[in-house]
Amino acid sequence: DAGVIQSPRHEVTEMGQEVTLRCKPISGHDYLFWYRQTMMRGLELLIYFNNNVPIDDSGMPEDRFSAKMPNASFSTLKIQPSEPRDSAVYFCASRLGTAPGELFFGEGSRLTVL
Amino acid sequence: SQQGEEDPQALSIQEGENATMNCSYKTSINNLQWYRQNSGRGLVHLILIRSNEREKHSGRLRVTLDTSKKSSSLLITASRAADTASYFCATVQGSTLTFGKGTMLLVSP
């Protein structure tokens, strides 16, 4: 299995630009999570999906952030417009609902907003 | 907000020594998990301990859980330089995992 695949691995953009991060979960996993990691705040849960349906987006910092999961094998996290404080590593993770909770993480997308 | 808080924030030891990391949390949990993160990489699951378990072993890893004190510890025995990484505890409530800020472990040859 290829594991959770995220792209891009690195993104450098200027303030005000739109950023789209992509994630392909492990085949057969029915839960997908987006986390953000910074030195100051650690790992924060942004949103999670179950069977492609957003369940809890209370961690999404503001309206500039949006996430979609159009099908079981693809999810996007979009930031529009981006700001310097959005600079962080964004992780996607998936798991199988019948498992006791082990998450499988992608390698992350490091975002730098100038 | 952080549910688990690891202690210490950083730990430096020599190869062959044991490393102990602690995690405290605030609310009731279904289970508690430990993850490892190498620099620039994603998190990797190490071990899971259920709320009705007190101790669990996996290779050189030993995890304990004290639900009355809302705390857990991760012991890595006979450490190796390759164990150098950040270690995170994560508490499970319902469908979600909440992570602490981690302990950075440096194992020197």
pLDDT tens string A71-99: 999 999 999 999 999 999 999 999 998 66
Across the range B28-48, mean pLDDT stands at 94
For A41-58, give one letter per residue: b (16+ CB within 10 A) or e: ebbbbbbbbeeeebebee
* pLDDT per residue as tens digits for the range A60-71: 988 999 999 999
A25/B contact by beta carbon, under 8 A: no
Q: What is the pLDDT of residues B72-108, one digit of tens each?
A: 999 999 999 999 999 999 998 788 899 999 999 999 9
Looking at residue B28, its pLDDT comes to: 86
Q: Is A106 on the interface with B (CB under 8 A)?
A: yes
pLDDT of res. A97: 85
Main-chain phi, psi angles of A40, to 5 degrees = -70, -40
Q: Which residue of B has its CA nearest to A30?
A: B95
Strand partners, A77: A21, A67
